[in-house]
DNA sequence: TGTTTACTTCATTTTGAATTGAACAACCCG
DNA sequence: CGGGTTGTTCAATTCAAAATGAAGTAAACA
């Protein structure tokens, strides 16, 4: 429905889910689920379509096929294909071969530890280590007179300290996230 | 040197800094400094121009004026103005009133604790707490038969666990970052 | 007061990433 | 085989965030 009567009601969700003929409580739930992941993904720089796909699969008690996803979200085949590839690659979705089905079915992989670890290692650890290297190189190439150089070197030292703190944090993060499941 | 011989040498940096008539070692250093911050900022979703401004100020042993920044980076007045506003607002730069100067001069504020704290509170804590609320709401509105609902509720539980872990981490992060200056 | 310099604001433009869609494979079944 | 279904690839398009630049404000100074 959306926009009944005259004065346009603000949609509660972003309305990414297509109703079709399914019950409105189901659609409402799907929409909220999708929005939840879209919000989280935006924070991490993941495309909306990818998050939406994960959300719609997550919201369904039964595995969904390519076609199901294409229909329920308002997405092109291309986007669904690419989105599913990404989600499989990172291990967010798994393919459950529907016995003798010809079409693949997908459900969320709840063992997100892999996912989180991957994120920490690739995005954070890599960046921090690279940063350290670059800071060392910068420190060696500070131009200017001795007194000028001292000022800038002091600043670089301060950056290096932060880099160290952040790197010291990673093992702690890993440990905590490992606890209980 | 990459790809020597005759044709166009690949720039090592993104070359955001304008040389003008300043010494090439200074310009090279500035470029690397700017690139460093641009890389870090990209990770956090901060616009390149803002990062570049911070970088060029950081690289200078003496405070820089609006005009200095505009010239050294290839940026419009508008971008410099907006970038400086953001950086002052978050406390990344401070204005050092050059005695009886009429133009404001800027230097980096090295007390980044504020900055980091702000980031943690605004971006992470807020998001995590909001997420928790939304998860609770979702759990109350799972549609479908009892057995279907059970499956989805189990998934929601798993998400809630992760949310809790992440929230448990915040105090730890705060503590570690506080250590030693 | 009028002019210049220093900066801000915001409507328009640019840019780069996300999305589409049409052409292309791969498989299945008659 | 041939026609249908299922999915992939990638050039073209769309869209939103970022950058620009022109018009506007404010203070300085003559």
Instruction: Pick out the nucleotide with least CA–C1' distance to B85.
Output: C8
Is A7 a residue whose pLDDT tops 80?
no
Q: Which residue from B minimizes the CA distance to A32?
A: B138
pLDDT, tens only, B75-107: 999 999 999 999 999 999 999 976 666 789 999
Q: Name the one residue in this structure whose structure tokens are 């689920």.
A: A33
Strand partners, A97: none
How would you label A39-78 residue by residue, b for 16+ Cβ within 10 Å and e otherwise? bbbeeeebebbbbbbbbbbbbbbebbeeebbbbbbebeee
Cross-chain Cβ contact B32/A141 below 8 Å: yes
Q: Are A135 and A156 in contact (CB under 8 A)?
A: yes
Q: What is the pLDDT of residue B99?
A: 60
Measured distance CA(A64)–CA(A113) in Å, rounded: 23
Q: Which residues contact A4 (CB under 8 A, 6 or more apart)?
A: none
Q: What is the mean pLDDT of chain B?
A: 90
- The dihedral through the CA atoms of B112, B115, B120, B121 has a sign that is positive
Measured distance CA(A150)–CA(A112) in Å, rounded: 46
Q: What is the pLDDT of residue B2?
A: 44
Calculate how close chain B gets to A85, using CA atoms only, in Å: 22
Q: Are B165 and A176 in contact (CB under 8 A)?
A: yes
Is A79 a residue whose pLDDT tops 90?
yes
Using a 10 angstrom Cβ sphere, with 0-12 exposed, 13-18 middle and 19 or more buried, the burial of residue B10 is exposed
Q: What is the mean pLDDT of chain A?
A: 90
The one-character DSSP state at B153 is H
Measured distance CA(B29)–CA(A138) in Å, rounded: 7
Q: What is the pLDDT of residue A14?
A: 84
pLDDT band at A103 (very low <50, low <70, confident <90, very high): confident
Measured at the CA of A162, the angle between CA A156 and CA A168, to 5 degrees, comes to: 135
A-chain residues near B64 (CB < 8 A):
none
Q: What is the pLDDT of residue B9?
A: 52
Measured distance CA(B6)–CA(A16) in Å, rounded: 53
pLDDT band at A181 (very low <50, low <70, confident <90, very high): low
Measured distance CA(B126)–CA(B51) in Å, rounded: 24
Report, in angstroms and rounded to the nearest whole number, the Rg of chain A calculated over CA atoms. Answer: 23
Q: Are B105 and B63 in contact (CB under 8 A)?
A: yes
Q: Are A173 and A141 in contact (CB under 8 A)?
A: no
Is B56 a residue whose pLDDT tops 90?
yes
Q: How far is the CA of A147 from the C1' of D11 (A)?
A: 55
Q: What is the pLDDT of residue A98?
A: 62
Q: What is the pLDDT of residue A102?
A: 73
Measured distance CA(B172)–CA(B58) in Å, rounded: 29
Global pTM reads 0.91
Q: What is the pLDDT of residue A36?
A: 97
Mean pLDDT of B113-131: 90
Measured distance CA(A144)–CA(A105) in Å, rounded: 63
Which residue among A61, A130, A173 places its CB closest to the CB of B148?
A: A61
In 3D, which of A20, A21, A25, A76 has the Cα closest to residue A53?
A76
Tokens, residue B20 = 């003008």
Q: Are B128 and B169 in contact (CB under 8 A)?
A: no
Mean pLDDT of A103-117: 91
pLDDT, tens only, A19-63: 988 999 999 999 999 999 999 999 899 999 999 999 999 999 999
Better-predicted residue by pLDDT, B113 or A132: A132
Mean pLDDT of B147-169: 96
């Amino acid at each position: 429905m959306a926009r009944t009567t005259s004065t346009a009601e603000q949609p509660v969700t972003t309305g990414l889910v297509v109703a079709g003929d399914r019950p409105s409580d189901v659609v409402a739930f799907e929409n909220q689920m999708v929005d939840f992941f879209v919000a989280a993904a935006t924070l991490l720089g993941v495309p909306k379509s990818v998050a939406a796909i994960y959300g719609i699969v997550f919201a369904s008690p039964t595995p969904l096929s390519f076609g199901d996803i294409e229909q329920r979200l308002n997405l092109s085949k291309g986007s669904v294909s690419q989105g599913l590839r990404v989600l499989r690659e990172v291990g967010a979705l798994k393919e459950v071969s529907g016995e003798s089905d010809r079409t693949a079915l997908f459900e969320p992989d709840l063992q997100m530890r892999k996912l989180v670890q991957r994120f920490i290692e690739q995005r954070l650890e890599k960046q921090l280590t690279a940063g350290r290297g670059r800071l060392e190189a910068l420190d060696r190439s500070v131009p200017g007179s001795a007194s000028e150089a001292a000022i800038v070197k002091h600043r670089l030292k301060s950056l290096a300290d932060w880099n160290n703190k952040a790197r010291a944090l990673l093992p702690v993060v890993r440990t905590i996230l490992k606890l209980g499941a």
